[in-house]
Structure 1
Amino acid sequence: MISRFHFDGVLPPDGEVPLPAAVSHHALRVLRLAEGEPMVLFDGSGIEVDARLVVRGKQGFAVLGERHEISRESPLELILVQALASGDKMDWIVQKAVELGVARVIPVQAERSVLRLSGERAQKRQAHWQQVAISACEQSGRNVVPEVAPIQSLTAYLEANAGADRLVLAPGGERPLAELPRPGAALHLMIGPEGGWSDSELNACRATGAIALGLGPRILRTETAGLAAIAAMQARWGDL
Protein backbone atom coordinates (compact mmCIF):
# COMPACT_ATOMS: atom_id res chain seq x y z
CA MET A 1 0.00 0.00 0.00
CA ILE A 2 1.12 3.55 -0.72
CA SER A 3 1.82 5.49 2.47
CA ARG A 4 -0.46 8.44 3.27
CA PHE A 5 0.71 11.45 5.28
CA HIS A 6 -1.03 14.51 6.66
CA PHE A 7 0.66 17.73 5.56
CA ASP A 8 0.38 20.42 8.24
CA GLY A 9 -0.28 23.43 6.03
CA VAL A 10 -1.76 24.17 2.64
CA LEU A 11 -0.43 22.06 -0.20
CA PRO A 12 0.55 24.18 -3.22
CA PRO A 13 -0.83 23.21 -6.66
CA ASP A 14 2.52 21.77 -7.81
CA GLY A 15 6.27 21.83 -7.24
CA GLU A 16 8.26 20.46 -4.34
CA VAL A 17 7.60 20.85 -0.62
CA PRO A 18 9.67 19.92 2.44
CA LEU A 19 7.93 17.33 4.56
CA PRO A 20 7.06 18.39 8.12
CA ALA A 21 9.66 17.13 10.59
CA ALA A 22 7.40 14.46 12.10
CA VAL A 23 6.32 13.20 8.67
CA SER A 24 9.90 13.18 7.37
CA HIS A 25 11.04 11.18 10.42
CA HIS A 26 8.19 8.70 10.08
CA ALA A 27 8.76 8.22 6.35
CA LEU A 28 12.55 7.89 6.49
CA ARG A 29 13.28 6.39 9.92
CA VAL A 30 10.15 4.39 10.76
CA LEU A 31 8.81 3.23 7.40
CA ARG A 32 12.26 3.44 5.77
CA LEU A 33 10.88 4.69 2.48
CA ALA A 34 13.48 5.07 -0.25
CA GLU A 35 14.21 7.84 -2.74
CA GLY A 36 11.57 7.98 -5.45
CA GLU A 37 8.92 5.98 -3.62
CA PRO A 38 5.31 7.08 -4.15
CA MET A 39 3.25 8.61 -1.35
CA VAL A 40 -0.01 10.47 -0.90
CA LEU A 41 -0.30 13.78 0.95
CA PHE A 42 -3.45 15.45 2.26
CA ASP A 43 -3.84 18.72 4.14
CA GLY A 44 -7.34 18.27 5.57
CA SER A 45 -9.11 20.33 2.90
CA GLY A 46 -10.64 17.28 1.22
CA ILE A 47 -7.95 16.94 -1.45
CA GLU A 48 -5.22 14.33 -1.69
CA VAL A 49 -2.12 14.67 -3.83
CA ASP A 50 0.03 12.02 -5.44
CA ALA A 51 3.68 12.64 -4.60
CA ARG A 52 7.17 11.17 -4.91
CA LEU A 53 9.73 11.12 -2.10
CA VAL A 54 13.01 12.97 -2.48
CA VAL A 55 15.72 12.58 0.17
CA ARG A 56 18.42 15.14 0.87
CA GLY A 57 20.51 14.21 3.88
CA LYS A 58 18.17 13.59 6.80
CA GLN A 59 15.32 15.63 5.31
CA GLY A 60 12.51 14.34 3.15
CA PHE A 61 10.82 16.31 0.39
CA ALA A 62 7.80 15.57 -1.79
CA VAL A 63 7.50 16.31 -5.50
CA LEU A 64 3.80 16.96 -5.99
CA GLY A 65 1.82 15.32 -8.77
CA GLU A 66 -1.84 14.89 -9.60
CA ARG A 67 -4.49 16.23 -7.24
CA HIS A 68 -7.68 14.32 -6.47
CA GLU A 69 -10.88 15.61 -4.89
CA ILE A 70 -11.98 12.41 -3.17
CA SER A 71 -14.53 12.42 -0.37
CA ARG A 72 -14.62 9.50 2.01
CA GLU A 73 -16.90 11.27 4.48
CA SER A 74 -20.10 9.67 5.69
CA PRO A 75 -23.48 11.17 4.74
CA LEU A 76 -24.29 10.84 8.46
CA GLU A 77 -22.83 13.79 10.39
CA LEU A 78 -22.15 12.15 13.73
CA ILE A 79 -20.59 14.00 16.67
CA LEU A 80 -19.22 11.81 19.46
CA VAL A 81 -19.60 13.38 22.90
CA GLN A 82 -17.36 11.16 25.00
CA ALA A 83 -17.00 11.38 28.78
CA LEU A 84 -13.34 11.16 29.75
CA ALA A 85 -12.11 7.59 30.17
CA SER A 86 -8.97 6.52 32.01
CA GLY A 87 -5.66 5.14 30.76
CA ASP A 88 -5.27 4.78 27.03
CA LYS A 89 -8.99 4.19 26.46
CA MET A 90 -9.48 7.70 25.09
CA ASP A 91 -6.76 7.12 22.48
CA TRP A 92 -8.54 3.95 21.37
CA ILE A 93 -11.95 5.64 21.30
CA VAL A 94 -10.74 8.62 19.26
CA GLN A 95 -8.80 6.43 16.83
CA LYS A 96 -11.62 4.00 16.13
CA ALA A 97 -14.35 6.66 16.07
CA VAL A 98 -12.44 8.55 13.38
CA GLU A 99 -11.92 5.34 11.40
CA LEU A 100 -15.69 4.76 11.61
CA GLY A 101 -16.41 8.23 10.23
CA VAL A 102 -17.38 10.60 13.05
CA ALA A 103 -17.28 14.28 12.11
CA ARG A 104 -16.16 15.60 15.50
CA VAL A 105 -15.19 14.41 18.98
CA ILE A 106 -16.12 16.42 22.08
CA PRO A 107 -14.50 15.18 25.32
CA VAL A 108 -16.50 16.05 28.44
CA GLN A 109 -15.69 15.82 32.14
CA ALA A 110 -18.37 13.71 33.80
CA GLU A 111 -19.10 13.26 37.51
CA ARG A 112 -17.83 9.68 37.47
CA SER A 113 -14.86 10.21 35.15
CA VAL A 114 -11.76 8.67 36.72
CA LEU A 115 -9.52 10.86 34.55
CA ARG A 116 -9.42 14.49 35.70
CA LEU A 117 -7.73 17.07 33.48
CA SER A 118 -7.53 20.84 33.53
CA GLY A 119 -5.29 23.69 32.45
CA GLU A 120 -2.09 22.82 30.60
CA ARG A 121 -2.55 19.07 31.09
CA ALA A 122 -5.95 19.26 29.40
CA GLN A 123 -4.51 21.24 26.49
CA LYS A 124 -1.67 18.77 26.00
CA ARG A 125 -4.05 15.82 26.08
CA GLN A 126 -6.38 17.48 23.58
CA ALA A 127 -3.43 18.08 21.23
CA HIS A 128 -2.41 14.44 21.64
CA TRP A 129 -5.90 13.22 20.77
CA GLN A 130 -5.96 15.51 17.75
CA GLN A 131 -2.78 13.82 16.53
CA VAL A 132 -4.43 10.44 17.13
CA ALA A 133 -7.28 11.62 14.88
CA ILE A 134 -4.81 12.68 12.19
CA SER A 135 -3.07 9.30 12.29
CA ALA A 136 -6.45 7.58 12.00
CA CYS A 137 -7.18 9.65 8.88
CA GLU A 138 -3.83 8.66 7.39
CA GLN A 139 -4.67 5.00 7.95
CA SER A 140 -8.33 5.05 6.92
CA GLY A 141 -8.07 7.25 3.82
CA ARG A 142 -10.05 10.23 5.12
CA ASN A 143 -9.05 13.58 3.63
CA VAL A 144 -10.91 15.71 6.17
CA VAL A 145 -9.58 15.62 9.74
CA PRO A 146 -12.26 15.66 12.45
CA GLU A 147 -11.72 18.18 15.24
CA VAL A 148 -11.13 16.97 18.77
CA ALA A 149 -12.64 19.80 20.78
CA PRO A 150 -11.22 21.16 24.05
CA ILE A 151 -12.22 19.24 27.17
CA GLN A 152 -15.31 20.82 28.74
CA SER A 153 -17.84 20.19 31.45
CA LEU A 154 -21.13 18.53 30.61
CA THR A 155 -22.95 21.73 31.53
CA ALA A 156 -20.77 23.80 29.21
CA TYR A 157 -21.33 21.33 26.38
CA LEU A 158 -25.12 21.34 26.82
CA GLU A 159 -25.24 25.14 26.90
CA ALA A 160 -22.98 25.55 23.86
CA ASN A 161 -24.99 23.06 21.80
CA ALA A 162 -28.54 24.04 22.65
CA GLY A 163 -31.05 22.61 20.21
CA ALA A 164 -28.77 19.82 18.97
CA ASP A 165 -30.27 16.42 18.19
CA ARG A 166 -28.91 14.20 20.96
CA LEU A 167 -28.88 10.53 21.82
CA VAL A 168 -27.52 9.65 25.26
CA LEU A 169 -26.51 6.03 25.68
CA ALA A 170 -27.82 4.58 28.93
CA PRO A 171 -28.57 1.08 30.23
CA GLY A 172 -32.32 0.60 30.03
CA GLY A 173 -32.67 3.45 27.53
CA GLU A 174 -36.27 3.75 26.47
CA ARG A 175 -35.67 3.82 22.71
CA PRO A 176 -33.87 1.16 20.65
CA LEU A 177 -31.98 2.31 17.58
CA ALA A 178 -34.31 0.43 15.23
CA GLU A 179 -37.23 2.69 16.24
CA LEU A 180 -35.50 6.00 15.61
CA PRO A 181 -36.04 7.98 12.39
CA ARG A 182 -33.15 9.06 10.20
CA PRO A 183 -31.69 12.29 11.65
CA GLY A 184 -32.22 15.40 9.58
CA ALA A 185 -29.15 17.21 10.90
CA ALA A 186 -25.96 16.53 12.84
CA LEU A 187 -26.52 13.89 15.49
CA HIS A 188 -24.76 14.07 18.86
CA LEU A 189 -24.06 10.69 20.46
CA MET A 190 -23.31 10.96 24.20
CA ILE A 191 -21.30 8.21 25.90
CA GLY A 192 -20.72 8.10 29.66
CA PRO A 193 -17.53 7.23 31.59
CA GLU A 194 -16.58 3.92 33.21
CA GLY A 195 -19.15 4.37 35.99
CA GLY A 196 -21.87 5.60 33.66
CA TRP A 197 -23.79 8.86 33.69
CA SER A 198 -25.18 9.94 37.06
CA ASP A 199 -28.92 10.39 37.49
CA SER A 200 -28.50 14.16 37.60
CA GLU A 201 -26.48 14.11 34.36
CA LEU A 202 -29.09 11.97 32.61
CA ASN A 203 -31.82 14.30 33.81
CA ALA A 204 -29.86 17.31 32.52
CA CYS A 205 -29.48 15.64 29.12
CA ARG A 206 -33.16 14.71 28.97
CA ALA A 207 -34.10 18.29 29.88
CA THR A 208 -32.43 19.45 26.65
CA GLY A 209 -34.45 16.95 24.59
CA ALA A 210 -31.89 14.13 24.50
CA ILE A 211 -33.31 10.66 23.86
CA ALA A 212 -32.00 7.85 26.06
CA LEU A 213 -30.79 5.12 23.71
CA GLY A 214 -30.50 1.45 24.59
CA LEU A 215 -28.20 -1.03 22.85
CA GLY A 216 -29.69 -4.26 24.12
CA PRO A 217 -29.66 -6.11 27.44
CA ARG A 218 -25.89 -6.22 27.97
CA ILE A 219 -23.86 -3.53 29.74
CA LEU A 220 -21.04 -2.31 27.49
CA ARG A 221 -17.80 -0.69 28.57
CA THR A 222 -17.35 2.96 27.68
CA GLU A 223 -14.68 2.10 25.07
CA THR A 224 -17.09 -0.43 23.50
CA ALA A 225 -20.43 1.34 23.76
CA GLY A 226 -19.74 4.35 21.60
CA LEU A 227 -18.00 2.40 18.86
CA ALA A 228 -20.79 -0.18 18.74
CA ALA A 229 -23.38 2.59 18.47
CA ILE A 230 -21.42 4.42 15.77
CA ALA A 231 -21.07 1.26 13.68
CA ALA A 232 -24.78 0.50 14.05
CA MET A 233 -25.74 4.06 13.05
CA GLN A 234 -23.41 4.01 10.06
CA ALA A 235 -24.98 0.73 8.95
CA ARG A 236 -28.49 2.14 9.41
CA TRP A 237 -28.07 5.71 8.11
CA GLY A 238 -24.50 6.13 6.88
CA ASP A 239 -22.20 4.37 4.44
CA LEU A 240 -21.35 1.01 6.00
Structure 2
Amino acid sequence: MSDAGDFIDSSLQREGDWHRAAAARARLGSGLDGRELRFYGASVGAVRGTVRDALRRHTGMAHDDITALSSELWEVPVFERRLAAIVLLQSRLTVLGNLDLTRIEGFVRSARLRGLVDPLAVDVIGPLVEGLDVLGRVRADSVLDRWVREPDAWLRRAALLSPLRALGAGAGDWDGFVRHARAVLADPPGQGPDGPVVREAISRVLAELARTRPELRFASADV
Protein backbone atom coordinates (compact mmCIF):
# COMPACT_ATOMS: atom_id res chain seq x y z
CA MET A 1 0.00 0.00 0.00
CA SER A 2 1.25 3.51 -0.77
CA ASP A 3 2.02 5.94 2.04
CA ALA A 4 -1.00 8.06 1.12
CA GLY A 5 -3.25 5.02 0.90
CA ASP A 6 -2.04 3.69 4.23
CA PHE A 7 -2.59 7.08 5.85
CA ILE A 8 -6.17 7.30 4.55
CA ASP A 9 -7.06 3.74 5.50
CA SER A 10 -5.57 3.98 8.99
CA SER A 11 -7.26 7.32 9.62
CA LEU A 12 -10.64 6.03 8.50
CA GLN A 13 -10.36 3.00 10.74
CA ARG A 14 -9.52 5.23 13.72
CA GLU A 15 -12.57 7.37 12.92
CA GLY A 16 -14.78 4.29 12.69
CA ASP A 17 -17.58 3.35 15.03
CA TRP A 18 -19.37 0.01 14.93
CA HIS A 19 -22.77 1.52 15.73
CA ARG A 20 -22.39 3.91 12.80
CA ALA A 21 -21.14 1.07 10.60
CA ALA A 22 -24.23 -1.02 11.37
CA ALA A 23 -26.51 1.94 10.71
CA ALA A 24 -24.78 2.69 7.40
CA ARG A 25 -25.08 -0.91 6.27
CA ALA A 26 -28.78 -0.92 7.09
CA ARG A 27 -29.33 2.38 5.29
CA LEU A 28 -27.12 1.89 2.23
CA GLY A 29 -26.96 -1.87 1.69
CA SER A 30 -23.85 -3.85 0.89
CA GLY A 31 -23.60 -3.65 -2.89
CA LEU A 32 -24.07 -6.37 -5.47
CA ASP A 33 -20.64 -6.80 -7.03
CA GLY A 34 -20.10 -10.31 -5.75
CA ARG A 35 -18.06 -9.25 -2.75
CA GLU A 36 -19.35 -8.23 0.65
CA LEU A 37 -18.94 -4.50 1.14
CA ARG A 38 -17.64 -3.65 4.61
CA PHE A 39 -18.12 -0.48 6.62
CA TYR A 40 -15.66 1.16 9.01
CA GLY A 41 -18.33 3.47 10.39
CA ALA A 42 -16.47 6.73 9.69
CA SER A 43 -18.65 9.77 9.02
CA VAL A 44 -18.76 11.55 5.67
CA GLY A 45 -17.10 14.52 7.34
CA ALA A 46 -14.28 12.29 8.56
CA VAL A 47 -13.79 10.89 5.05
CA ARG A 48 -13.57 14.37 3.56
CA GLY A 49 -11.23 15.56 6.30
CA THR A 50 -8.98 12.53 5.89
CA VAL A 51 -8.62 13.05 2.15
CA ARG A 52 -7.90 16.74 2.72
CA ASP A 53 -5.21 15.87 5.27
CA ALA A 54 -3.69 13.29 2.92
CA LEU A 55 -3.40 15.84 0.13
CA ARG A 56 -1.72 18.27 2.51
CA ARG A 57 0.77 15.61 3.59
CA HIS A 58 1.47 14.49 0.04
CA THR A 59 1.71 17.70 -1.92
CA GLY A 60 2.37 17.85 -5.62
CA MET A 61 0.39 14.75 -6.56
CA ALA A 62 -0.03 14.77 -10.34
CA HIS A 63 -2.64 13.08 -12.51
CA ASP A 64 -1.12 9.60 -12.37
CA ASP A 65 -0.65 9.81 -8.59
CA ILE A 66 -4.28 10.81 -8.05
CA THR A 67 -5.76 8.17 -10.32
CA ALA A 68 -3.49 5.43 -8.96
CA LEU A 69 -4.45 6.33 -5.38
CA SER A 70 -8.15 6.34 -6.28
CA SER A 71 -7.82 2.83 -7.71
CA GLU A 72 -5.87 1.67 -4.66
CA LEU A 73 -8.58 2.94 -2.34
CA TRP A 74 -11.37 1.47 -4.46
CA GLU A 75 -9.81 -1.96 -4.76
CA VAL A 76 -10.62 -2.95 -1.16
CA PRO A 77 -14.42 -3.33 -0.77
CA VAL A 78 -14.88 -0.92 2.13
CA PHE A 79 -17.50 1.79 1.77
CA GLU A 80 -15.43 4.56 3.37
CA ARG A 81 -12.37 3.75 1.26
CA ARG A 82 -14.44 3.92 -1.90
CA LEU A 83 -16.07 7.14 -0.78
CA ALA A 84 -12.58 8.53 -0.11
CA ALA A 85 -11.64 7.65 -3.70
CA ILE A 86 -14.63 9.67 -4.91
CA VAL A 87 -13.74 12.62 -2.68
CA LEU A 88 -10.14 12.44 -3.94
CA LEU A 89 -11.25 12.62 -7.58
CA GLN A 90 -13.69 15.41 -6.75
CA SER A 91 -10.88 17.35 -5.07
CA ARG A 92 -8.63 17.12 -8.12
CA LEU A 93 -11.08 17.42 -11.02
CA THR A 94 -8.79 19.84 -12.83
CA VAL A 95 -6.18 17.12 -13.49
CA LEU A 96 -8.72 14.65 -14.92
CA GLY A 97 -9.59 14.19 -18.58
CA ASN A 98 -12.06 12.28 -20.71
CA LEU A 99 -9.78 9.23 -20.79
CA ASP A 100 -10.29 8.88 -17.04
CA LEU A 101 -13.92 7.96 -17.70
CA THR A 102 -12.68 4.43 -18.43
CA ARG A 103 -11.38 4.06 -14.87
CA ILE A 104 -14.51 5.69 -13.45
CA GLU A 105 -16.69 3.35 -15.50
CA GLY A 106 -15.04 0.45 -13.70
CA PHE A 107 -15.84 2.10 -10.37
CA VAL A 108 -19.50 2.49 -11.33
CA ARG A 109 -19.78 -1.10 -12.52
CA SER A 110 -18.42 -2.47 -9.25
CA ALA A 111 -20.16 0.00 -6.89
CA ARG A 112 -23.79 -1.05 -7.50
CA LEU A 113 -24.87 1.17 -4.64
CA ARG A 114 -26.66 4.52 -4.67
CA GLY A 115 -24.39 5.86 -1.94
CA LEU A 116 -21.38 5.47 -4.25
CA VAL A 117 -22.76 5.69 -7.79
CA ASP A 118 -24.66 8.93 -7.17
CA PRO A 119 -21.71 10.99 -5.84
CA LEU A 120 -19.54 9.57 -8.62
CA ALA A 121 -22.10 10.77 -11.17
CA VAL A 122 -23.04 14.13 -9.67
CA ASP A 123 -19.75 15.21 -8.08
CA VAL A 124 -17.15 13.68 -10.40
CA ILE A 125 -18.46 12.60 -13.81
CA GLY A 126 -20.70 15.60 -14.44
CA PRO A 127 -18.20 18.31 -13.41
CA LEU A 128 -15.39 16.46 -15.22
CA VAL A 129 -17.36 16.49 -18.48
CA GLU A 130 -18.42 20.11 -18.03
CA GLY A 131 -14.78 21.17 -17.64
CA LEU A 132 -13.50 19.59 -20.86
CA ASP A 133 -12.61 21.43 -24.03
CA VAL A 134 -14.74 21.00 -27.13
CA LEU A 135 -12.98 17.89 -28.45
CA GLY A 136 -12.81 16.28 -25.02
CA ARG A 137 -16.49 17.01 -24.47
CA VAL A 138 -17.45 15.35 -27.77
CA ARG A 139 -15.52 12.23 -26.78
CA ALA A 140 -16.97 12.21 -23.27
CA ASP A 141 -20.51 12.65 -24.59
CA SER A 142 -20.02 9.60 -26.78
CA VAL A 143 -19.05 7.63 -23.66
CA LEU A 144 -22.21 8.74 -21.85
CA ASP A 145 -24.29 7.88 -24.92
CA ARG A 146 -22.85 4.37 -24.75
CA TRP A 147 -23.53 4.10 -21.01
CA VAL A 148 -27.21 4.86 -21.58
CA ARG A 149 -27.42 1.95 -24.01
CA GLU A 150 -25.62 -0.46 -21.68
CA PRO A 151 -27.58 -3.25 -19.97
CA ASP A 152 -25.85 -2.27 -16.71
CA ALA A 153 -28.50 -0.25 -14.84
CA TRP A 154 -25.89 1.53 -12.70
CA LEU A 155 -24.02 2.88 -15.72
CA ARG A 156 -27.31 4.15 -17.11
CA ARG A 157 -28.09 5.77 -13.77
CA ALA A 158 -24.68 7.45 -13.70
CA ALA A 159 -25.14 8.86 -17.20
CA LEU A 160 -28.56 10.26 -16.32
CA LEU A 161 -27.47 11.85 -13.04
CA SER A 162 -24.20 13.30 -14.34
CA PRO A 163 -25.60 16.64 -15.64
CA LEU A 164 -27.63 17.33 -12.49
CA ARG A 165 -25.30 19.87 -10.89
CA ALA A 166 -24.77 21.86 -14.08
CA LEU A 167 -28.47 21.84 -14.96
CA GLY A 168 -29.38 23.03 -11.49
CA ALA A 169 -26.90 25.89 -11.81
CA GLY A 170 -28.52 27.13 -15.02
CA ALA A 171 -26.13 25.47 -17.47
CA GLY A 172 -25.72 21.86 -18.55
CA ASP A 173 -26.94 19.88 -21.53
CA TRP A 174 -30.70 19.68 -21.09
CA ASP A 175 -31.23 18.33 -24.60
CA GLY A 176 -28.71 15.59 -23.89
CA PHE A 177 -30.49 14.63 -20.69
CA VAL A 178 -33.86 14.52 -22.48
CA ARG A 179 -32.38 12.33 -25.22
CA HIS A 180 -30.94 9.93 -22.66
CA ALA A 181 -34.12 9.87 -20.59
CA ARG A 182 -36.29 9.13 -23.60
CA ALA A 183 -33.97 6.31 -24.65
CA VAL A 184 -34.31 4.77 -21.19
CA LEU A 185 -38.08 5.22 -21.02
CA ALA A 186 -38.47 3.55 -24.42
CA ASP A 187 -37.19 0.31 -22.91
CA PRO A 188 -39.34 -1.98 -20.77
CA PRO A 189 -38.71 -1.59 -17.02
CA GLY A 190 -35.74 -3.67 -15.90
CA GLN A 191 -36.28 -6.81 -13.91
CA GLY A 192 -34.48 -7.83 -10.73
CA PRO A 193 -33.12 -5.72 -7.87
CA ASP A 194 -31.44 -3.18 -10.19
CA GLY A 195 -34.60 -2.52 -12.20
CA PRO A 196 -35.85 0.66 -10.50
CA VAL A 197 -32.53 2.49 -10.27
CA VAL A 198 -32.60 3.95 -13.78
CA ARG A 199 -36.09 5.46 -13.79
CA GLU A 200 -35.45 6.63 -10.24
CA ALA A 201 -32.53 8.69 -11.57
CA ILE A 202 -34.79 10.43 -14.08
CA SER A 203 -37.31 11.18 -11.33
CA ARG A 204 -34.60 12.65 -9.12
CA VAL A 205 -33.32 14.99 -11.83
CA LEU A 206 -36.83 16.17 -12.73
CA ALA A 207 -37.81 16.68 -9.09
CA GLU A 208 -34.75 18.81 -8.34
CA LEU A 209 -35.08 20.85 -11.55
CA ALA A 210 -38.78 21.45 -10.86
CA ARG A 211 -37.61 23.54 -7.90
CA THR A 212 -34.65 25.30 -9.48
CA ARG A 213 -35.50 25.51 -13.20
CA PRO A 214 -39.26 25.10 -13.68
CA GLU A 215 -38.97 26.39 -17.25
CA LEU A 216 -37.45 23.06 -18.30
CA ARG A 217 -40.28 20.82 -19.45
CA PHE A 218 -40.30 17.05 -19.82
CA ALA A 219 -43.23 14.68 -20.28
CA SER A 220 -42.58 12.57 -17.19
CA ALA A 221 -45.82 10.60 -16.96
CA ASP A 222 -43.99 7.32 -17.55
CA VAL A 223 -41.26 7.93 -14.97
- TM-score normalised by L of structure 2: 0.28
Higher helix share: 2
Q: Relative contact order: is structure 1 or structure 2 higher (C-alpha 8 Å, sep ≥ 6)?
A: 1
Which has the larger Rg? 1
Higher strand share: 1
